[in-house]
Amino acid sequence: MNVADSQLLASELEKLGHRSAPNGDDADIMVVNTCVVRQSAEDKGLGRLQLLSKVKEAHPEKVIGVMGCMVGVRDPLWMRQRLPYVDVFMPPSDPSPMVSFLKERMDERDVLALEARARQDRDALQDGEIVLPLHERDQLVSAHVPIVYGCSHACAFCIIPFRRGVERSRSVGEIVAHVRSLAAQGVKEVTLLGQIVDRYGKDIPDGPDLADLLRVTHDVADEVGIERIRFLTSHPNWMTDKLLHTVAELPRVMPHIEVPIQAGDDTVLARMRRGYTADQYRRLVGKIRRTIPDVAIHTDIIVGFSGETRSQFMETYRVLEELKLDKAHLARYSPRPQTVSARRMEDDVPDEEKRERHKMLEALQARVVAEINSRYLGQQVEVLVEDKYKGRWRARTPQNKLVFFEADGDWKGKLAQVEVTWTGPWSMQARLPVKRQTDPLVFAAG
């Protein structure tokens, strides 16, 4: 979501006449787009902003901005007091404070000219269309399309509802216009985004759901040349049979499902306020696999949640060992301000123990994914090529598995059939299939 927000901000800055700087040291405007889902992410954002305080001291004319969940949807008074050198604070998905700040520093005639051009742009563009920043236009193979902002399902550990606000679904027309505009700028794959993407349309009376949106998007993709569609992140409570059957039926929607479990113990899940049991998650995984052939399932895990005992953690270990999922995004629990767990529960699992549990799951997943990926050895798979990395083409399978191969010519943005020659837990290597020539048949007389 932050990537999409940064693209929107960059596009708005270009409308004001600015261009992307080759590196941060050369920039006149510097924006830190922040995440606070974990303490480590917040610390990273604050660390970068502290470095920029020295830049501002040496170059007071430079503009410093901070955007995203650290700012939130409410007035960030504490940030204004703590970071007095920051010029602009922007909520998630809203570049308008920076645009207004920069316009105030411009000559009135220039502002009027920009506003006239903006009116022309609005007349030329449909609601929802986005013009990518120049350095990404005709360069991106895959792009993100937010379809629902915010979240109204407050898990005990999650700060997102407090920082991104309640759910707001975009209209189908806006989303379709967004997808069309990305296709016109060279994009071949779109990922529909939501904090709980399955809840798309829940805030619209008698509105469409995610399955309906996927069918519309699929028709548009077929028309404009979008090869692949993905969506994330799902929630076990909102993943319907209708959605699963829709994914199975639509060839451009990839067999790739992101559905977090967070923990494998029912007591921990109840304290997290997740709304399901480990057995219900197991049954959901079974249903997904029965409905969608060759599906890859990704999950999220939090280790060391408030009160999690060693035996409760081992239930999580056993669930992952049993289900053999294609990827597990692992995180150590850190209390987030305003959340239920921070206000009512003690962060009582020592950090050393959290790290140990994290390492155990990492090692387990490395073995599980290595086993899963080994099944691809010698197989031909279709990949969408993203870019060139260290002399090899970097591509992804329909299941979102990373594949590298060597080939002459320009493969960027193209679909390729490749033969897998090596597999590991995190990536695979492949080659273009060797064309075999058959000796001509010779018939003897008589």
Topology agreement, domain 126-254 and domain 257-374: yes
Q: Grade residue 438 by pLDDT with cuts at 50, 70 and 90.
A: very low
The 10s digit of each residue's pLDDT in 329-356 is: 999 999 999 899 999 999 999 999 999 9
CA distance to 351, 385, 432, per residue, from 435 (Å):
55, 21, 9
Q: What is the pLDDT of residue 135?
A: 86
Q: Which H or E run contains 217?
A: helix 210-224
Q: Grade residue 107 by pLDDT with cuts at 50, 70 and 90.
A: confident
Q: Grade residue 119 by pLDDT with cuts at 50, 70 and 90.
A: low
CATH node for 257-374? 3.30.750.200
- What count of Cα atoms within 13 Å lies in the side-chain half-sphere of residue 164? 29
Q: Grade residue 125 by pLDDT with cuts at 50, 70 and 90.
A: low
| Amino acid in the structure at residue 375 | R
Q: Where are the beta strands (DSSP E) in 79-162?
A: 88-90, 142-149
User: Is the pLDDT reported for residue 439 higher than 50?
Assistant: no
CA distance to 282, 307, 311, per residue, from 278 (Å):
6, 17, 15
Please identify which residue in the block is written with the tokens 């940064």: 6
Q: In this structure, how many other beta carbons lie within 10 angstroms of the beta carbon of residue 427?
A: 13
Q: What is the pLDDT of residue 116?
A: 65
User: Is the pLDDT reported for residue 167 higher than 60?
Assistant: yes
| Residues 430, 424: Cα–Cα separation, whole Å | 12
Cβ pair 328, 299 in contact under 8 A: yes
The architecture (CATH level 2) of 2-123 comes to: 3-Layer(aba) Sandwich (3.40)
Percent residues over pLDDT 90 in the chain: 82
What is the three-state SS of 269-295? Answer: HHHHCCCCCHHHHHHHHHHHHHHCCCC
Question: Is CATH 3.90.1300.10 correct for 380-431?
Answer: no
Tokens of 24: 């941060």
User: Is the pLDDT reported for residue 273 higher than 90?
Assistant: yes
Please identify which residue in the block is written with the tokens 């090869």: 227
| Residues 306, 303: Cα–Cα separation, whole Å | 9
Q: Grade residue 444 by pLDDT with cuts at 50, 70 and 90.
A: very low
Cβ pair 180, 218 in contact under 8 A: no
The 10s digit of each residue's pLDDT in 10-26 is: 999 998 889 999 888 88
Averaged pLDDT, 71-79: 84
> Which residues does 420 contact at the CB level (< 8 Å), separation at least 6?
376, 377, 378, 379, 380, 381, 403, 428, 429, 430
Q: Grade residue 437 by pLDDT with cuts at 50, 70 and 90.
A: very low
User: Would you give the distance in Å from CA 34 to the centre of its chain?
Assistant: 14
User: Is the pLDDT reported for residue 112 higher than 80?
Assistant: no
Cα–Cα–Cα angle for 219, 221, 223, rounded to 5 degrees? 75
Fold assignment, 126-254: Transcription Regulator spoIIAA (3.30.750)
Q: Grade residue 440 by pLDDT with cuts at 50, 70 and 90.
A: very low
Distant-in-sequence contacts of 93-98, Cβ < 8 A, 24+ apart: 93/1, 93/4, 93/5, 93/8, 93/146, 93/149, 95/5, 95/8, 95/9, 95/12, 95/13, 95/67, 98/9, 98/12, 98/13, 98/29, 98/31, 98/63, 98/65, 98/67
| Residues 438, 441: Cα–Cα separation, whole Å | 9
The 10s digit of each residue's pLDDT in 365-409 is: 999 999 999 999 999 999 999 999 999 999 999 999 999 999 999
> Which residues does 344 contact at the CB level (< 8 Å), separation at least 6?
none
| Residues 34, 24: Cα–Cα separation, whole Å | 16
Sign of CA dihedral 230, 236, 238, 239: positive
Q: Grade residue 361 by pLDDT with cuts at 50, 70 and 90.
A: very high
User: Is the pLDDT reported for residue 436 higher than 60?
Assistant: no
Query: What's the length of the chain?
Result: 446
Q: What is the pLDDT of residue 352?
A: 98
Averaged pLDDT, 196-220: 96
User: Is the pLDDT reported for residue 105 higher than 50?
Assistant: yes
User: Is the pLDDT reported for residue 434 higher than 90?
Assistant: no
- Kindly tell me the number of DSSP H helices and DSSP E strands found in the chain: 14, 15
User: Is the pLDDT reported for residue 124 higher than 80?
Assistant: no
Domain segments of the chain: what residues? 2-123, 126-254, 257-374, 380-431
The 10s digit of each residue's pLDDT in 300-329 is: 999 999 999 999 999 999 999 999 999 999
Averaged pLDDT, 104-109: 80
